[in-house]
Structure 1
């Protein structure tokens, strides 16, 4: 048996245990880091060939692995922009260098410029929200992503362009009798404008309807229109009305489509069954909401909720083989598989929890146990090295 080989084996063992202690130290240091995934060391033997009855001691080599696919528990917060992924998927963030990374650290905060950045200074990425269809994504790349930016949402006014006004007109009213009601609409600057609707009975089952803006300036927005009902008191025509667009005090009142399809003429008093017009007055932002599908909405002081962006998620076939990067980030590696893009709750992706953060998946008790094991094993390997060194000294002293 080679004495040098014995010492090299002891050194190999000490190096291996030092690597293990290194991961234990890192894990314990990051036991409170949001979204941190623990590292561990796997050992494998190095066997040298034995010749002529002489045993050549080998050694041990180590491989560091990360438990990236192991989900941590959740801690709930009072911030709606703190996010966690419940299930598979990673947030996509961008650094100051313009490079995209994957992360599970979702402690995002709204910045002065309206962007959402986590505690490491990386910007959350997503797509502009569309009410008609999900934004088209590039499945295997980051093209089309943009920083989620809420700076333009500080104040908002939306002009009215649609509504509904369904009433019951008394069937026993005399020809010439009138009924009236009003709806509030909004112009392009968020000013409220009162629109008056007047109904005049002209014959059995027939009413004349007009709509006016009292002004100034007084404006007829729906000229006299004949509304007819059948023998059962249900409306026949028209089922909707379109108002005329006009300008008032430098602001635009848009043309509005008013649904009247469920209006009726029955033997009851005049009543408004449904009366609403969309749009809103100028309102300031009072908060943000992010739902489990990753839709980022702005909350205004008038109670309106306006979707602005949708958070994108990414995944790979083998998350544990991603490359860890400083800042609790990950990048694609040759072993991880290609990055696949998607949205929360679709195609195998997990859901997003707002007002929560994913804890580190480190078990401190387990790490302390591993520390004791590594310490004892390191000591044992040092004894092997020490014994080999003493035997070598005996061999050298034989010449004396």
Structure 2
């Protein structure tokens, strides 16, 4: 047995316990850090070969592990841009160095330039929202991502494109009965344009099968000039008419069950594009019937419900973020406009990611490649707006580990002290 070896073993044990105390100190210090994942020290024995009946004491090595895949609890806040992930996945953020990182720290704040930045200074990344298709994701990279920017000091306008109008036409009315209703659409400058829909009962047959026919015409009346435009004339621009009674009509046929017969009746009314007062009222498709329901003819009073999309001039009053990561701008008139979709990422072995300053992670050789996706699908968790993920540190557990390390450090120091005393005895033998 080597006395020097005994002393080195004691030093090895003290170093190992010091490493453990370091991780405990980090964990306790970050017990209130949003999204922090605790570190732990794992010990492994170091055995030296024994020869000639002499035992060579070895030592201990340490390996630091991170519980990155262990989810913390949630703290709910009053800020819409505070985000937490319930389940697997990471937010993708951009650092001041222009490099993308992964994080679970979702305490984002809207900055003066409109970007969403967390308390460590990292900017949230996502894809521009499209109502027609999901953006193409580069599965193993960050191409196509851009900073989510909610700056919108200007007024917003969205011209109308489509809508619906479902009415009940009273079945017990005589031929010639007429009823009108209106919907408001927005032109390209955000002006409101009132469209008048006029329904007239034109015929009824005893059958078989019994049916009733109604006509519907759509007009727009210029409030300044009084000109009446026929909105289903099929011309561009639509022509003016002397009265709404002269408007082009579509025939609606209802069967004995009171439902619109889509074999002979249109499911949609297609309205003409109308240039007016320096603006354009886009062509509109107004749904009046379909497989999921629509206009009816029943023994009840005339009733109508409908809406046309579009946004008039309105400023941004706030934000909303859905559980699938769609970021909406909320306007003063109550409308919501989707603008971005938050991107998410994951790796095959999250616990082997490389932790960096600012509570972010980067890919390591042992973590596997980064795989991109969206919240709520493909195994990714959902996003909770107005919440933050707490640190997964257990203070009681850390204090227990601290006491254990303190005792073990003291015991290892006794081994070193004993070896030192034996060395002194050996040196004094020569005197």
Q: Name the CA distance, whole Å, in 2 between partners of 1:268 and 1:56.
A: 99
For 1:141 and 1:106, locate their aligned partners in 2 and report how far apart those are by CA, in whole Å.
21
Aligned partners of 2:175, 2:87: CA distance in 1, in Å? 67
The residue that corresponds to 1:252 in the other structure is: 280
Which of 220, 240, 244 is equivalent to 2:268? 240
Is the 8 Å Cα contact of residues 197 and 216 (structure 2) preserved in structure 1? no
Range with greater deviation from structure 2 (180-189 or 326-335): 180-189
Give CA deviations for 1:205-225 in whole Å, capped at 9, x if unaligned. 464734122332424042432
The alpha-carbon distance between structure 1 residues 114 and 219, as it changes in their structure 2 partners (threshold 3 A), is farther
Greater Cα offset, 286-295 or 212-221: 212-221
Task: Find out whether 1:74 has 2:93 as its counterpart.
Answer: no
Match status 1:209 vs 2:240: no
Q: Compute the RMSD of aligned alpha carbons.
A: 2.3
- The answer to whether 1:220 aligns with 2:251 is no
2:164 pairs with 1:164: yes
Tell me the residue number matched to 1:121: 121
1:26 and 1:331 map into 2 onto residues whose CA distance is 19
- Checking the alignment, whether the CA contact within 8 Å between 2:127 and 2:135 is kept in structure 1 is yes
Distance apart, 1:245 and its partner CA: 2.0
What per-residue deviation string (whole Å, max 9, x for no partner) do you get for residues 140-199 of structure 1? 111111111122475322212223334426764465x64333222211121212223344
| Match of residue 289, structure 1, among 303, 320, 323 | 320
1:41 maps to what in 2?
A: 41
1:370 aligns with 2:401: yes
Moved more, 253-262 or 64-73: 253-262
Assess, with a 3 A threshold, how the Cα gap between structure 1 residues 59 and 288 changes in structure 2: closer, same or farther. same
Distance 1:158 1:379, change over 3 A: same
TM-score (norm 1): 0.92
1:57 aligns with 2:57: yes
Contact 1:155 1:283 in 2 (8 A): yes
| Structure 2 residue ranges without an equivalent (≥5) | 205-212, 232-246
Secondary structure at the aligned position of 2:420 is classed as helix
Residues of 2 paired with 1:278 and 1:316: CA distance?
A: 40
Instruction: Tell me the SS of whatever aligns to 1:151.
Output: coil
Cα pair distance change 1:378/1:199, threshold 3 Å: closer
Q: Which residue of structure 2 lines up, in the alignment, with residue 276 of structure 1? A: 307
Structure 1 range deviating more: 238-247 or 287-296: 238-247
SS at match of 2:339: strand
Pair 230,60 (structure 1): closer, same or farther in 2 beyond 3 Å: closer
**Against the structure 1 CA distance between its residues 280 and 385, is the aligned structure 2 distance closer, same or farther, given a 3 Å change threshold?**
same
Check the 8 A contact 2:152/2:316 in 1, yes or no. no
Q: CA deviation at 1:96?
A: 1.5
- Higher mean C-alpha deviation, range 199-208 or range 38-47: 199-208
Contact 1:229–1:264 under 8 Å retained in 2? no
Structure 1 unaligned segments of length 5 or more: list them: none
Distance 2:342 2:152 in 1: 18
Deviates more, 1:82-91 or 1:177-186: 177-186
2:150 is aligned to 150
Does residue 338 of structure 1 match 2:362? no
Indicate how the Cα distance of structure 1 residues 14 and 188 shifts in structure 2: closer, same or farther if over 3 A, else same. same
Counterpart secondary structure, 1:97: coil
1:331-377 deviation per Cα after TM superposition (whole angstroms, max 9, x unaligned)? 11111111111111212211211111111111111111111111111
**Normalising by the residue count of structure 2, what TM-score does the alignment of the two structures yield?**
0.85
- Taking a change above 3 Å as real, the CA distance of residues 100 and 396 of structure 1, as seen in their structure-2 partners, is same
What do the CA deviations read for 1:26-81 (whole angstroms, capped 9, x no partner)? 11100110111111111111111112222211111111111111111111111111
- Which residue is 2:332 aligned to? 301
